[in-house]
Structure 1
Amino acid sequence: MNEVDQDREIRTTAVDFSFGELLNLHRDKEIVIRPEYQRLFRWSNEQRSRLIESILLGLPIPPIFLVENDDGVLELIDGLQRTSSVLQFLDHEAIDEPELELVGCDILQRLNGETFASLKTVEKLKVKRTPIRATIINKSGDSFVKYEMFKRLNTGGSLLSAQEIRNCSSRMVQGGEAFYEAVQEMAAKDCFTRTIARLSESTKEKRADEELVLRFFAVATYRDGYKGNIEEWLDAFMEGVLFGDIEFKIEESTERFEKVFSLIDEKLSDQAFTRFNDQGAATGRLAPAYFEAVVASFDEKYEELKNVAPDTMLQRLKSAFVSHEFKDATGPGANTIPKLHQRIAAVGSHLVG
């Protein structure tokens, strides 16, 4: 095995930590629980309570995964929901959360209403002393190894969305945190949030707004990388940026993004990316295929569109969406490079009149 292969080999250590030990390590900052890896408390109080109930019943707890940083500190990359729920129960102040009062326990119903402080001593000790298997991914000089490890751990049966995985995995790579924070800052800009107001709240909770930022840059700068699968396309674009294969200057990209969405907001506001009914009224949620075609057109034809009156722009957009060219490119078999180009061309030609 050559030196590169040795560097890329995944080296792991299996350790059994008690939850009491995890709490102490967290207090001493030897284990970092970063909420950006997973939304800290997607679990409901009932789900957290049933985990505590499972521990007291002696049921096995799935393992957690940690990655060792260059300074030896361990970062939790999988199992945050389980770990943070128990730590909240043991010492809610340690993770800056309200005290957890157990609810929804259906086997040990006497636990409902209990807090850690009100448990019997034997039950307190059982929670603190219960072990959980931890797989530690030992430090590696290869960022790609850490990136791939997190992505693979959280792909498949995971509750994380594709964009939440991108948020987390990008932070495994040097410079990745700056890139993703720039994405988040763009997603928070007023001109953008007004145009995507029809995006459902449930998808926003899973970072769909941040995914649309990424999709804008993918369609604007990496269109030919599209192979028919949106997730793979966005992954490939982000990985190209993170590993230096695609140039992405944050300041210049942010200016480009704000310029385009300020114009879309001025001309179309929240009607830019949605369907229209027979009476001409905007209806329904944001449609991603419509988003791609409109943002690409505004990016490419900015100078031709900036002086078009909003009312005229809206009528041209409606005409584009009902055109044969556009409908043909958004129906069955639309997930191809030619169809992507076709729907962008259809919208662009209508918008410029």
Structure 2
Amino acid sequence: MEEFSAATHKPQNIAIKDIIKQISNGFTLQNVEDITLLEEELKLELSDSIIIAPDYQRDYRSSIIDESSLIESLLVGIPIPPVFLANDRFEGLQVLNVVDGQHRLRAFYRFKENKFSLSGLKLLNSLNGSKFNDLDFDTKQKILTHKLAAIVFTDFPGLDFELEIFNRYNKGTKPLTPQEIRHAVYNSNLNNYVNKFAKDMVDNKTSKELQNAYNATKDRYQKKKVQESIFVLMNILESGINESYSKSSIYAEEYMKQKSQLEKNESIYAHDNFLFVKDSFENFNKIIELIGKRVEFPFSKEIYGISSRNYKFQVSIGMLLAGIFHRMISYGISLEVLDDEFALEKFLDYVSNLFKHSYLEDPEYNASSTNPKKMRELINIIDLEELFN
């Protein structure tokens, strides 16, 4: 029988007043510009801060009615499901990420901070319209001293088991998507970078060309579809098409696992690799922005003249472009050659003709458009010397 270590998880009961303090510390910690400048005493104070919305969490979507109902449930003794936290490091300090229970914890924090008035209460309707400061002492005390059940994960047994653990604890709540679970399990500096890049697109802090290219809608961002696509492209930019990967999601999962493991092992290579990946991805995006001035949705069939309004981001097209750029870099051809308007036009004409007459538009081809063998064959057809001379 195969031996493995069990996941370490500690059931705890934490007073809501202590949870609110840890959440407040988490907000303070995330706003510190340089943690290395903090006094040791303050660092210790901020240790075990709760990061209420780590990168893999959903955006906050609860209504005031939902939040009020939670407060009412506590006051009348209706059981509240446990929250799930996971030990992590934030700029060198030990913190607790919220794996499941963000909405519950944020509701308690918001109410204590007088951010909303109770509304829609059915059992304690006399409290409707009340903020925390409006309540009598006994009611305030009942809320703050209530012990909330929490399960804190530490020392996962290994990457092969982590996803299954999160999947099982995730059942019975609002299920996380596969990519949300990956963010919970395979945390890394690259995750933080990707999530910020995706959020910047949604918040209109990047060019319209990039927003269109990645189809960076709020819904796709919240479900982590944008982030998953980025990890797929990053993997291919760095390593090319992998014929052992049958689905695009495998590229994302294996890449995130690899980068997380690098950091967990405290490899001196981890930081240099992060900078390399970031630089490669940003150079890639510069070209995508240029293409986006000619083609509204570059990662779609529009790149070869077929309208794709309902399919603005097609992962197969993105993978092929990333694969072509990987091959260029491998041959020592800098992506900067495409900064030239004539070279870019020539490249787009070539790629358009290549894709249009490939398996992508073959009516007799009925297998996956991300078939790795087909993709590699198509990418390897390109005569780079002819194209860039």
> Shorter-chain-normalised TM-score: which range?
0.7 to 0.9
- The answer on 1:53 being equivalent to 2:72 is yes
Is the Cα contact below 8 Å between 1:196 and 1:286 reproduced in 2?
yes
CA distance 1:43–1:55, change in 2 (3 Å): same
Is the Cα contact below 8 Å between 1:167 and 1:180 reproduced in 2?
yes
- Give the drift of 1:41: 2.3
The amino acid across from 2:7 in the alignment is I
Match of 1:252 among 258, 271, 276: 276
The amino acid across from 1:239 in the alignment is K
Which residue is 1:79 aligned to? 101
Deviation digits for residues 193-233 of structure 1 (CA, Å, limit 9, x no counterpart): 35625333311234433323211122231632653333343
Q: Secondary structure at the match of 2:60?
A: coil
Match of 2:81 among 51, 54, 62: 62
Match of 2:255 among 232, 237, 247: 237
Deviation digits for residues 172-213 of structure 1 (CA, Å, limit 9, x no counterpart): xxxx2x333343466559578356253333112344333232
1:282 and 1:141 mapped to 2: Cα distance?
43
Match of 1:204 among 215, 221, 225: 221
- The answer on 1:264 being equivalent to 2:264 is no
- The answer on 1:275 being equivalent to 2:301 is yes
TM-score by length of 1: 0.74
Q: Secondary structure at the match of 1:223?
A: coil
CA distance 1:120–1:344, change in 2 (3 Å): farther
Which residue is 2:143 aligned to? 127
Match of 2:246 among 219, 225, 228: 228
Which residue is 2:19 aligned to? 22
2:313 and 2:102 mapped to 1: Cα distance?
31
CA distance 1:352–1:131, change in 2 (3 Å): same
Is the Cα contact below 8 Å between 2:316 and 2:369 reproduced in 1?
no
Which residue is 1:290 aligned to? 317
Once the two structures are overlaid, the 10-residue window that deviates more, 143-152 or 52-61, is 143-152
- Give the drift of 1:252: 2.2
Is the Cα contact below 8 Å between 1:33 and 1:80 reproduced in 2?
no
Alignment of 1:86-125 (within 5 A): 86-91=108-113, 99-105=115-121, 108-125=124-141
TM-score by length of 2: 0.68
Q: What are the ranges of 5 or more consecutive residues in structure 1 without an aligned counterpart? A: 93-98
Deviation digits for residues 296-351 of structure 1 (CA, Å, limit 9, x no counterpart): 223324649735555555555544454352234985444543244356568x5799
CA distance 1:129–1:201, change in 2 (3 Å): same
- Give the drift of 1:83: 1.5
2:170 and 2:366 mapped to 1: Cα distance?
28
Which residue is 2:376 aligned to? 341
Which residue is 2:39 aligned to? none
Q: What are the ranges of 5 or more consecutive residues in structure 2 without an aligned counterpart? A: 25-44
Q: Secondary structure at the match of 2:149?
A: strand
Q: Secondary structure at the match of 2:134?
A: coil
CA distance 1:103–1:310, change in 2 (3 Å): farther
CA distance 1:259–1:67, change in 2 (3 Å): closer
Is the Cα contact below 8 Å between 2:231 and 2:251 reproduced in 1?
no
Q: Secondary structure at the match of 1:224?
A: coil
2:58 and 2:379 mapped to 1: Cα distance?
35
1:107 and 1:209 mapped to 2: Cα distance?
42
CA distance 1:199–1:72, change in 2 (3 Å): closer
Which residue is 1:42 aligned to? 61
Deviation digits for residues 22-79 of structure 1 (CA, Å, limit 9, x no counterpart): 3355566464221225246233333322222322342211112234569886554332
Alignment of 1:181-200 (within 5 A): 181-184=192-195, 190=206, 193-194=210-211, 196=213, 198-200=215-217
Is the Cα contact below 8 Å between 1:326 and 1:343 reproduced in 2?
no
The amino acid across from 1:118 in the alignment is D
Once the two structures are overlaid, the 10-residue window that deviates more, 318-327 or 214-223, is 318-327
2:194 and 2:23 mapped to 1: Cα distance?
29
Percent sequence identity over matched residues?
17
Paired residues in the alignment total 337
Q: Once superposed, what is the RMSD of the aligned Cα atoms? A: 4.3
Is the Cα contact below 8 Å between 1:226 and 1:233 reproduced in 2?
no
Match of 2:231 among 214, 224, 227: 214
Is the Cα contact below 8 Å between 1:105 and 1:112 reproduced in 2?
yes
- The answer on 1:327 being equivalent to 2:343 is no
